[in-house]
A and B are shown apart, each in its own frame.
Chain A
């Protein structure tokens, strides 16, 4: 047992922090991000990636959330994971090297109208060519390849096969769109059964990456709150000298720390294939609620200023809420966890 980062991991986290300091305000940080090699962190070396682990990816995502740096990194890496685990050798050769360098980006289309969350069965049929509409698909404008979730498993569709019908204006800053497929030619990613297993893993990885990003945002919100509590004076003293304010900050610290170590442990479990389902679901369900608490406190400490969009707090609030609403709400994850810890009917 050792919860300290290794020297290499610390270096990676520092590099990512420095990147965020430099590029947080870039209109498009992707060209700079391509040079970092992060898009290939989870792609094996034989396909042009660096074959690092989820822990490394989590450290990068956490730093990016501090910006927040808006980029296609998470959806693209998620698409690469699906191809890596379920793609035929041809599909892997076709896509993994370019996704790993970031020359192309990918995304994953999961949700359709009427789906409760990403874990619900998708109505779109995967037999033959794909027809139907996916909503809230991340980062569409210059995407090259789309992994599509269907009732018969995962499918791969090239950009030309999809028609963007609507740009969403979601809570988070990343562009999202609704995509319509009309008899789109699609390639199969694994058998139906394999794909269900792969999809579950892909969603787990995606949840942990997004959690890490939200943790970066929450850490920034805490820093802003501490700054504000130190500098804002009322009744002749810094508001941080009022315990009602200071204790909210202390609670934020305690919650952000808990989320962080739950996320690191989940990443570690994914890397080591050790009870990953329980680790991911515990992290997601704890963090859903913890993020609410953290941002309630952050806004309360900031006063009216936090509600004004000229202050940066709202950007982090949106990241956190978008995380909470994605990849399963608290109730869903607690139900999954309840089964994992042994609750159920007696046989």
Chain B
């Protein structure tokens, strides 16, 4: 066992961190604000990361990456997530949409879709969830009819983050065979978002605009060369993709940063000796520490070529509940002015804790709910019998 990054990795972290400190502007507070500068900024930053070879460094050399170790990738994720993910939506390209294309795509698809991702020029969104298909994703009904050289798609997606960014492409999950059993009649399509018949309707959220959207699909034509993987075999891709996604986000890293903000705030406010404040922040710190180590365990398994499905779910259980706890305790420490938002001159810590609490209200839902993670751990991890 080794609980340290190597000197080379630490040097890389310093270099990346210095770069980000210089490049990420003071006003940046993540994607989901009303600030119009956000989206163009993420595009510029991704292009600069690409120039330095840092955007797709995790990718294998044949696809324009440098095959960086899983630990360097973890460092990138930590530094990005600690700063509210300044790559914007493009982190999804790097973490799982690109890797899915590499694994399941044709050589033509590789040549067409990977280079723009590697240059940081393209925004993808994920069209999986539907009004009646949430946790039970495989019950989705958006229909793709096979018309030989193309598919005709009709239906509706919901909670599609970044669709109004606007997104250039969508990784779309559709029902291609309604008579097959539910997991066997699904396909994955690569949908050009400029195709006629697509309507995007933003859904306002507690955290502000741009968090997610509805996407309506009316007789949308998708060429056959945009089918990813085997027809009716889309579920295999979902399973592979969700595993990439679960360890693909260093949620604990932002929580750790917010805890640091709260420690400074408490000291400045004369609360550094308050036994209750000390107790609460120390508690959060231990939970942060646990969440981080459990992510590292999953990554250690990936380093050996194993797929840490259950371990990723365990890590996620810790990470998402940590985020919510940090928000709650943070606001408790700030007191009444904690409810003021960014932009209000009396908002402590520039409204950061308010925002953090708000945006983590659904963190135990997005990307597989807490209960679904527990089902995975109970059934796949512990071998408990399935529900009837």
| Residue ranges of A at the interface with B (Cβ–Cβ < 8 Å) | 1-6, 9, 55, 222, 226, 229-230, 237-238, 240-243, 246-247, 249-251, 253-254, 257-258, 261-262, 264-265, 268-269, 272, 274, 282-283, 285-286, 289, 331, 333-335, 337-339, 341-346
Contact = CB atoms under 8 A, between A and B. Distances in A.
Given A1-B2, A285-B282, A344-B272, 11 more contacts: A1-B4, A1-B9, A3-B296, A241-B385, A257-B314, A262-B290, A283-B286, A337-B282, A342-B267, A343-B266, A344-B273
B8 to A, nearest CB: 12
Contacts of B375: 243, 246-247, 250
Contacts of B273: 343-345
Given A241-B386, A250-B382, A334-B278, A341 B371 contact: no
B303 interface: yes
B283 interface: yes
B283 A335 contact: no
Given A246-B375, A246-B379, A258 B281 contact: no
B282 A334 contact: yes
B279 A251 contact: no
Chain A to chain B: the 10 pairs with minimum beta-carbon distance, closest first: A338-B278, A334-B282, A258-B290, A250-B374, A246-B378, A250-B377, A286-B286, A337-B282, A261-B293, A240-B384
B385 A240 contact: yes
12 contacts: A3-B293, A230-B383, A237-B388, A247-B378, A250-B377, A250-B381, A253-B378, A257-B297, A258-B293, A343-B281, A346-B267, A346-B268
Contacts of B270: 345-346
Given A258-B293, A346-B268, A335 B275 contact: yes
Contact of B1 (A4, A226, A346): A4
A341 B379 CA distance: 38
Interface of B: 1-5, 9, 71, 74, 259, 263-264, 266-268, 270, 272-273, 275, 277-279, 281-283, 285-287, 289-291, 293-294, 296-297, 299-301, 303-304, 311, 314, 317-318, 371, 373-375, 377-379, 381-388
Contacts of A243: 371, 374-375, 378, 387
Given A257-B297, A345-B273, A249 B378 contact: yes
A341 to B, nearest CB: 5
A63 B388 CA distance: 36
A263 B290 CA distance: 10
Most buried by A among B71, B281, B373: B281
Nearest to A258: B290
Contacts of A262: 286, 289-290, 293
A4 B263 contact: no
Interface SS, B side: helix
Contacts of A2: 1-2, 300, 303
B384 A249 contact: yes
Contacts of A335: 275, 278-279, 282
Contacts of B297: 3, 257, 261
B267 A343 contact: yes
Contact of B3 (A6, A237, A254, A268): A268
Q: Which of A272, A337, A338 has the most CB of B within 10 A?
A: A338
Contacts of B299: 1
A237 to B, nearest CB: 6
Nearest to A285: B286
Max chain B Cβ within 10 angstroms of own Cβ: one of A6, A272, A342 = A342
A1 B289 contact: no
A261 B290 contact: yes
Contacts of A265: 3, 293
Contacts of B287: 286
Contacts of B301: 4
A3 B268 contact: no
A341 B1 contact: no
B379 to A, nearest CB: 7
Contacts of B266: 343
B294 A257 contact: yes
B384 to A, nearest CB: 4
Contact of B282 (A254, A261, A341, A345): A341
A283 B296 CA distance: 16
A147 B371 CA distance: 50
B378 A343 contact: no
A236 to B, nearest CB: 9
B18 to A, nearest CB: 21
B277 A274 contact: no
Contact of B314 (A6, A226, A254, A342): A254
B385 A238 contact: yes
Contacts of B1: 2-6, 9, 55, 264, 268
Nearest to B293: A261
A258 B266 CA distance: 27
Nearest to A226: B382
B265 to A, nearest CB: 11
A241 B384 CA distance: 7
B267 A246 contact: no
Contacts of A5: 1
Scoring B1, B263, B287, B375 by chain A CB atoms within 10 A of each residue's CB, the highest score goes to B1
Given A246-B374, A268-B3, A285-B283, A253 B314 contact: yes
Nearest to B280: A334
Nearest to A336: B282
B383 A1 contact: no
A216 B302 CA distance: 26
A254 B377 contact: yes
B343 to A, nearest CB: 28
Contacts of B290: 258, 261-262, 286
Nearest to A242: B387
Contact of A261 (B2, B294, B371, B384): B294
A1 B281 contact: no
B356 to A, nearest CB: 18
Nearest to B286: A286
Nearest to A333: B282
Looking at B273, B318, B377, the one whose CB has the most chain A CB atoms below 10 A away is B377
A243 to B, nearest CB: 7
A254 to B, nearest CB: 5
A22 B308 CA distance: 32
Contacts of B381: 250, 253
